[in-house]
Structure 1
Amino acid sequence: MSLQDLQTQLLALSPAEKTQAIQLLIESLSDTWTGIEKTLGVCGGDARITNTRIPVWVLVRAKQLGNTDAQILTNYPTITATDLSNAWRYAEAHLGEIEQAIAENEAA
């Protein structure tokens, strides 16, 4: 995709979608993700929902196994729909990292 193609698509977004796109770009540039944190020594240093011990890769794997967002929220009552949304955005931007964490933890 060229920058010109992207520009056309960005200009077609609604104001709310443009805001989300800007937030995603800022987060990816700064590597700080709203609601997601990494702490050495907590959950193996994997990305996790802020103030929990629930790694993003666990949520992604649950979804891969066929769980809906509603089921995931029921199974993890300490997280919110916003937390899940943050996790999905993080996972999209860091797909290789998430896939590696899943593979490492399934091999163990």
Structure 2
Amino acid sequence: MSTAIEEARQVVTKLSAEERRSLVEWLAHEPVEVAPGIYRTPRVCGGDACIRGLRLPVWQLEEGRRSGATDSQLLQAHPALTPEDLANARAYASASRAEIDRLIQENCEA
């Protein structure tokens, strides 16, 4: 176990029950970087992998790409996106193909 985790454990054991509840609540909402520029945040977009700082799921960009949208069209449709975001989304979609396929399918059926 890492030193940081052990130090955190020692601090957490000294917290009151209310402080622990607050800590758990805070951690439950903290975004986690799952790939460069790609984050999962509990209770945001169903916890799906999204572009950094945006509520834009990777599966949605990949669905657009598979439907024939060019990078230029995607960037125009989502002005906060950068070319680097698209590259990160493509890399994540490629590495997580089964997950992305499932999410596209689920959201097309909805």
TM-score calculated relative to the size of structure 2: 0.69
The alignment status of 1:69 with 2:67, answered yes or no, reads: no
Q: Size of the alignment, in residue pairs?
A: 78
Structure that is richer in strand per residue: 2
Residue 24 of structure 2 is matched in structure 1 by none
Larger-Rg structure = 2
Larger RCO (CA within 8 A; separation ≥ 6): 1
Q: Deviations over 1:26-76 (max 9, x none)?
A: xxxxx8311000111001110000100000000000011110011000000
Residue identity over aligned pairs, in percent, reads 45
**Where in structure 2 are the equivalents of 1:1-108 lying within 5 Å?**
32-108=34-110
Stretches of 4+ aligned residues off by more than 2 angstroms: none
The CA distance in 1 between the partners of 2:41 and 2:34, in whole Å, is: 12
5+ residue gaps, structure 1, are: 1-30
Unaligned runs of 5+ in 2: 1-32
